[in-house]
Amino acid sequence: MTLNEDLLMLRDAARKFAEREIAPYAQAWDRDEYFPDEMIKKLGDQGFMGITVPEEYGGAGGNYMAFAIILEELARHDGGLCLAVEAHNGLCCGHILIGGNDDQKRKYLPALARGDQIGAWCLTEPNSGTDAAAMQTRAVQDGAHWVINGSKQFITNGERAGTYVVTARTGPGDRGAISAFIVERGTPGLSTGKREEKLGMRSSDTVVVKLEDVRVPAENMLGPEGRGFEDVKEVLKRGRVVISAMSVGFARGAVEEAVKYAHQRTAFGQPIFEFQAIQHKLADMMIQTEAARLMMYQSVSMLDRGLPTTREAAMTKVFASETATRVAMDAIQVLGGYGYLRDYNVERYMRDAKLIEIGEGTSEILRSLVAKTLRA
């Protein structure tokens, strides 16, 4: 697939930004498990924090292809920061765009799109991951307000979010109807736990979000009561497409780092690139990365055209995520002992890449989803 001139210009701008503002600091951010708050505003100034938000709500008005291109460029240098941008745009802003009314969009999206604040999406719970319909967080109506009680687990951006989209059960029983609410930072009863210590994506904050008698105005419900679960499925379907771009970014980074090293490192009197075993490994890494990118482009293009993408999103995420982990592991092998050191980037790509096989739908559940489409 060939990108048009506007998308090529966006890619080049995102690449230059990432090389200038992210690459020099990525290893330190990974080590410190933190990226500075000022990066959110810098990303907002570039239009990256509201890339799919329509211009009328203060965003860049881009499509999902634009979003995917930005994610690949950011992931090439730091998965944690990229994950923060993906969750902010694709999950928090994405849910508001899907389920919100005009008043809600005008109230909350401009600040999110500018990077004045970052958004968080609160779906997963300690005992409700893939089976989202089993969530236990509950909202009960009390006059002109809803009172929310529960706990959300593994929430990206949860520590510093200014706006939270929270799902809760509003129907009776353990599997009753689910609705979604916008909850503002500082609302009494909303608190966060300590930062989780993670294998990868370490620069992004991941926390438990606790809701204890959190009162939100009835007008903060996103969409009609009980429609939350349908909107969640749509958010995740779109998210699986664009998060695959992160996997492509990891794989691309691993290939580029491995090729560079192979030309510089000598053994037995010549660069190790001259050995056929290394050449074949690098070739396979490149082939797999390009295949993942083309698969991602196809799925994103279908999404932008309004075509059904449930199966395509699942296939793309499985293939791209597993490709990224495999290619990063191969890059470590090319670098040998140096690949195992934190002084080099490839071990970080491997740690970051693994999460994409888990988040927003595990490879196992997505394979089951694909298999269901194959029934006679």
The residues assigned a catalytic role are 360
Taken as a whole, the chain contains a residue count of 376
In sequence order, the 6+-apart residues with CB closer than 8 A to the CB of 206 are 154, 155, 156, 158, 195, 196, 198
First and final C-alpha spacing in the chain: 32
Q: Is residue 154 classed as helix, strand or coil in its secondary structure? A: strand
Place of tokens 């300690």: 126
Closest to 246 in 3D by CA, of 300, 165, 312, 199 = 300
Helical spans, DSSP H, in the chain:
5-21, 26-32, 38-45, 64-75, 79-86, 94-99, 102-114, 228-264, 276-304, 310-335, 346-354, 363-372
In sequence order, the 6+-apart residues with CB closer than 8 A to the CB of 274 are none
